[in-house]
Amino acid sequence: MDHLFGLDKPASHDEYTAHLTTAHDNVELSILRSILEAEEIPYRIRERGSGGVVKVIAGYSMYGSDIFVPVALLEKANELLDAYRNGDPVEDCAEDTEGDEV
């Protein structure tokens, strides 16, 4: 039945972006957005089905939010999400300044 409402596949997107993942609640969406923003990876969010209307009315979408990134950055974004989901620590660029004292 999901195919009737467009919920069985990611939202439509252009050829320059690729589907990274689908967030199923606002907390997950916020975490994924902050991971991508911290690494300066541009992204676009599209609601599945009628999720945009539902989100305006209810404050969240039970259909999920698709996250798209540029095709060239898909591999890097996937590595970041895999590290997050596996609980692996992500190295901070600020820690690369060993021996520098303030």
pLDDT at residue 79 greater than cutoff 60:
yes
Of 36 and 56, the one with more pLDDT: 36
Q: What is the DSSP letter of 58?
A: H
The C-alpha atoms of residue 38 and residue 89 are separated, in whole angstroms, by 14
The pTM assigned to this predicted structure is 0.67
Domain boundaries, the chain: 2-85
The predicted structure's pLDDT at residue 67: 94
For the segment 1-27, what is each residue's pLDDT rounded down to a tens digit?
345 444 555 655 678 899 999 988 888
pLDDT at 39 over 90: yes
Residue 47: burial class (beta carbons within 10 Å; 0-12, 13-18, 19+)? middle
The whole-chain average pLDDT of the chain stands at 76
Q: 77 pLDDT band (50/70/90 cuts)?
A: very high
Note whether 64 and 54 are within 8 A (CB).
no
The CATH topology of domain 2-85 is: Alpha-Beta Plaits (3.30.70)
- pLDDT for residue 81 is more than 70: yes
Share above pLDDT 70 across residues of the chain, in percent, rounded to a whole number: 59
The mean pLDDT of 80-88, rounded to a whole number, is 87
